[in-house]
Amino acid sequence: MVKKNKELEVAFLGGVGEIGKNMTAIKYANDILLIDCGSTFPSMDDTPGIDLIIPDFSFVKENLDKIKGIVITHGHEDHIGGIPYLLQECGNIPVFGSSLAIALIKHKLTEKKINMPKLNVVKGGDKKNIGVFGVEFINVTHSILGAFALSITTPAGVVFHTGDYKIDYTPVDGESIDLGRIADIGNSGVTLMLGESTNIEKKGTTISEKEVGITLQRIVESNPDKRIIIATFASNVNRVQQIINICEKVGRKVAFDGRSMVNISEMAKKLNILDYKDNTVVPIEEIKGIEPSKLCIISTGSQGEPMSALTRMANGEDKEVVIGEQDVVAISSQPIPGNEKAVYTLINNLYRRGAKVLYGSLEQLHVSGHACQDELKLMLSLVKPKYFIPVHGEYRHLKKHEELALSMGIPKENIKLVDIGNKIVIKKKSIQFSDSIEAGEVYVDGNSNVDSLVLRDRKQLSTDGVVILLLNINVENRQLTSVDILTRGIVFDEEFLEEMKILTEDTFATSSYKNESERGGLKNNLKRKISRVILNKLKQRPMVLPLLIEQIKEKSEDEE
């Protein structure tokens, strides 16, 4: 009997057609390897009251016996934010990642009191056998330390995943992207490349992180009498290191403000990836006696996040830091699309308190962590994949990345543009779509998951309010004893309220009320009729909730 060639399958659970909640599964025979498990921060407009959006894990749950492990490209939230929920729902899956990524994951699991899985720390150049897959971790430069590309060897060929990267020839920590190794892997033959697409719309190359250090140094030096406050992403340890180096040089103390800034800096110091003298850092609670000219505060809140340290300062609500004319505030980030309004409100409020604020593109206060067109071209030309799938981008990014690959000679039939839920099969001579998998998004609200119906209700409640019809019914004779109408977020005058009560009574009188299905019919009738009258009169569409309350008998006062 001829042994059938086994196929390589790649399923997309998140991170395609969107920037956020990255998650991919690679399957060969009876083994599955997961890559990343991220989350997305929700927007107030589309998803009111939601804390977090994570991938739908149905595919993982259905294939639990085949899952051999999850490899993490780096510790950003869009790559690790879903892990606590994955482990909670799917049990113990071994996790592989850089020391920083693993420390960040451990912190999340401890906070949520989730059983620790086997956490494996790997470094650039390491190779691990995970089921049938031989996974090599390759150093890349990005806006967080400990970022990897992955070369995954399977019996059906090599899959190369770029992870998030830029090509920084002068990295702050001296650990550059391992272009030599990537070229070697490319020369030995790569079957499929998954390439990140975030900055495909930008020409040229991304500026080195070192440039931000130069700008920050100039800001510190040209404001020798002022207190300096720099807001940036806590996970950008390289940038925090640069700020600390500048402060040590000019003799300023450093204080960290904001929960994640304090946590991650502490973590990074323990891992020896953040380095400073013992007397450089002072706790934020102890900054009182320090002269403005001798202090620099590194804080969270560069995106105007409502609960962050910088927002508290700008609103005059921070316990330790009172903003005034002695302050220069540098916002070392770009607003992520959707956050602009919050960031500009923050800037306005800082100005109102008398601070000098530095932000935006006038100064090189921030550089991206993602590859621009020339870097994307270099990566494709080194890896030289047979098949190519652009990832980590909205549809337009993926489309543009396809165009770039076409311009470099990859044939159209060898490129696939994918969506969440798609599965790709690589056969001996082709790459094809196969049956879709169950996938999508799950909304996390506090400790529970909610669905899209809940969201629709929330939107309706927030714009048009709610009308509750309480029908008190005597269950013995099936007669309506009274109707109460409660409203929230919408106002009825006395006359209209009476009209609604009469309509409710009439509707009840003309309906049958015997079994479950008739009761359902009555409720629907009430919803429809009342909604229509409200729409005609008040031009509003509140949620209408009829409640049928069956009373065994009328309660008399003394029974209570």
Picking from 226, 222, 261, 225, the residue whose alpha carbon sits closest to that of residue 244 is 261
Q: What span, in angstroms and rounded, lies between the C-alpha atoms of 401 and 200?
A: 6
- Shortest approach of Zn ion to residue 164 CB, angstroms? 4
Q: What span, in angstroms and rounded, lies between the C-alpha atoms of 201 and 520?
A: 53
Picking from 164, 208, 148, 160, the residue whose alpha carbon sits closest to that of residue 187 is 160
CB nearer Zn ion, residue 14 or residue 131? 14
CB nearer Zn ion, residue 154 or residue 339? 339
**Dihedrals phi, psi of 292, to nearest 5 degrees:** -50, -40
∠ CA 24-199-104, nearest 5°, is 50
Q: How many residues bind Zn ion, per CB under 5 A? A: 3
Binding mask 66-95 for Zn ion (x = CB under 5 A): ----------x-x-----------------
- Shortest approach of Zn ion to residue 437 CB, angstroms? 22
CB nearer Zn ion, residue 22 or residue 507? 22
Q: What span, in angstroms and rounded, lies between the C-alpha atoms of 526 and 506?
A: 10
Q: What span, in angstroms and rounded, lies between the C-alpha atoms of 399 and 417?
A: 7
- Shortest approach of Zn ion to residue 429 CB, angstroms? 33
CA-to-CA separations, 63 to 32, 37, 57, 152, 442, in angstroms, rounded: 8, 16, 10, 20, 19
Picking from 280, 228, 227, 278, the residue whose alpha carbon sits closest to that of residue 251 is 280
CB nearer Zn ion, residue 171 or residue 292? 171
Binding mask 379-398 for Zn ion (x = CB under 5 A): --------------------
- Shortest approach of Zn ion to residue 173 CB, angstroms? 16
Max CA pair span of the chain: 89
CB nearer Zn ion, residue 305 or residue 327? 305
**Dihedrals phi, psi of 273, to nearest 5 degrees:** -105, -5
Q: Which residue reads 């070392």 in tokens? A: 332
Q: What span, in angstroms and rounded, lies between the C-alpha atoms of 18 and 41?
A: 12
Binding mask 135-174 for Zn ion (x = CB under 5 A): -----------------------------x----------
The residue count of the chain comes to 560
CB nearer Zn ion, residue 38 or residue 117? 38
- Shortest approach of Zn ion to residue 44 CB, angstroms? 22
Tokens describing residue 355: 């601070």
CB nearer Zn ion, residue 200 or residue 426? 200
Question: Tell me, what DSSP letter sits at residue 274?
Answer: S
- Shortest approach of Zn ion to residue 235 CB, angstroms? 9
- Shortest approach of Zn ion to residue 373 CB, angstroms? 18
- Shortest approach of Zn ion to residue 299 CB, angstroms? 21
CB nearer Zn ion, residue 166 or residue 423? 166
In the complex, the residues that contact Zn ion under the rule CB under 5 A are: 76, 78, 164
